[in-house]
Every structure is written in C-alpha cells, then in structure tokens.
A = this chain, B = another copy of it.
C-alpha cells in the first residue's frame, strides 16, 4: 500500500496525495476529499521509514531507564509515553538494570534506531560513558531523576527533600535516625539523598550513625533485621526509596518491632502503592509521571527548535512530604511527649 497506489486510483499525482496528508489546505477541497476517500478505502498509511528517510525526522524518542520493576520508573515512563504520544512521537524504552555497560549499549542501540533524542535515567551523570557517547554524537537528551549542573535535568531536589524527611522525624522526637540505602556509588540520587540526610541530621543537632548500605535488595530484609536486633538500634529509619522502606517495615515485623510504635520508617519516591499499605508509608513524594512528562516535553520543544536542551533548561520539580502512618514519636517519648519536641534535650544519649 504505497502513495503511488493511492495516486493512481485517485487519478492524481503522488505529490497531491502527499499534500493531502502534510498540507491539506494546499489542495482543492474536492481533490482532497477524493484522495482521502481513496486512501481510506485502500487503508493507506504513509510509510514511517520513507518519511523518516526523506525528512530526517523519525519522531521517535529513546528512553533509558534502570528498571520497570520500581513503580516510580514505570510511572515516569507512563507520563513520558503519554506526552510523547500527544505530540505524535513514539518512544523506544530500554532498561539497564543499573548496569553501566548496559547504559552504554542502550545508547548505542537507540542511536542506531535514529531516535531524535533521548530521555535517560542513568547511574551517575558525572562519570557516564553513555552520556559522553551521546554528546559526541550530538544527539539531544534530557536526564530525568539525575541532577547535574552540566546537563539538562528534570528532577526534584533530593538533598532538600531528604533533609525535610529527617526534620520531620526529628520533630517527632527521634534522635537515633539511621539511613538505609542501596549501594551509594550506584546512583547520584542515593548520594544526594545521603547528603541531605547528613545535612538534616546536622540541622537537628543530631549525630548521624553510619549509613546502612544494602548491596542487593534481596538481602535487605535480613541485613535490616539484624541491625534492628542489635543494641542501640535506631528508632527511625530513613530509606533511600520506597521499595527499601517496604522491606524495612517487613524487617521490623520480623524483628518483633511494631511500625510505627517501636520503629518509624520513612521512604522516598512516593509510589502510589505506599499509600494503600497498612501502615500507609511515610515518604517523600516526587511527581514521577510529571518528571517523565516534562522531560519529554522539554526534549520535544528543543527538537522543534532544532536545538539540544541545555543545562539552563533544567527543571526542578516540587516534592512533598507524605506523612503516612509509618512514622510516629519514638517509644521513649510516647508517654509524656506527644508532639513536636524539637528543642528538647534528650535525657539518654544512645551509645554510638
């Protein structure tokens, strides 16, 4: 089913058929109607590859994500896909599993597919070989979730958000607040969140215990359970993401601790599911769908202007503290100090 067939059957030239699809007002209404009906009859659809070859515009966006198994990225992709579809663009998503080689391969594959630009969530913009590849090729791109002054990024302020989370826990009266994270080196987000944690602890006048680093999610529950059984356990856990927080809640239960009565757990991401759990998960909500949507829009806007997005185009999206039900005052304060004891001196300094 080619443009030629339509032209023949309608008794016009292929140029006219092309115009009917690309510049309808340049065609006499009568001719247009004729061509349109013939096209519909034949079920004609313009060939995307021919069009791409001729115009050098594929109207395809590449997307590189760590995984779809984390709902925050799935939601992001959904927002991104919607924005792209609305603007007549298709997307080709690739997942990397947080693997640096995979990131690079993904970029190469996308490059070979002639995507016009890419939205990527990478491990670390600072050191990314994939990004270097992209820049060498001069392909427009926007980073999502990542945040770095040298690139165009759409993200929340991880550091400020984490500090807020800590402030919230401190305001509840917690003094022994520990942070739980995946491998720090694995992502700039983790690092930023950890810095925010430290800043928040400092602002609250608290000593930050060593980071609880969980190399693989599979071992998270066991590692945490152990830590929670040890003496001088924290009364609150700030987790680098909601998936980890959910595991922390589980670890607490396995250790015989109730959440939030014995242990408060705070997450990060704000996955929709967290709000349906019991207890509802306290977390920092980031607008995942918006991150995807805005990143796509930013990219497409730049593409339309024949330019690449620049760092100055970066967007800092608002986050929000979701209180949830998994955070409450620590055990030793529940008797006499129900609310907001920020300035109170603790009577018992924990070891460590």
One of B67, B71, B249 near A78 (C-beta < 8 A): B67
With a CB–CB cut-off of 8 A, which chain B residues contact A315? none
Q: Which of A82-128 contact B (CB under 8 A)?
A: 82, 85, 90-95, 108-109, 111-114
Residues of B within 8 A of A318 (CB): none
Q: How many A residues, CB 8 Å from partner?
A: 56
Of all chain B residues, the one with the shortest Cβ separation from A63 is B93
Contacts of A258 in B (CB 8 A): 344-345, 347
Q: CB of A321 within 8 A of chain B?
A: no
| B-chain residues with CB within 8 Å of residue A93 when the two chains form the complex | 81, 91, 93
In the bound assembly, the distance between CA atoms of A250 and B77 in angstroms comes to: 28
A256 to B50: give the CA distance in the assembly, Å.
Answer: 63
User: 1/0 contact trace for A35-64 toward B, CB 8 Å?
Assistant: 000000001011111101100001010000
> By the criterion CB–CB under 8 Å, are B78 and A43 in contact?
no
Q: Is the CB of A92 within 8 A of B95?
A: no
Q: Considering the complex, which residues of chain A in the window 240-299 have a beta carbon less than 8 Å from any beta carbon of chain B?
A: 243, 246-247, 249-250, 253-254, 256, 258, 272-273, 276-278
Partner of A75, one of B68, B276, B277, B347: B68
Q: Is A69 an interface residue (CB 8 A)?
A: yes
- Nearest 4 CB-CB pairs, A to B? A49-B52, A74-B74, A253-B344, A68-B74
14 sampled A-B residue pairs with Cβ under 8 A: A45-B108, A46-B112, A48-B49, A48-B113, A68-B77, A74-B74, A82-B95, A85-B109, A90-B109, A93-B93, A246-B273, A250-B276, A256-B344, A258-B345
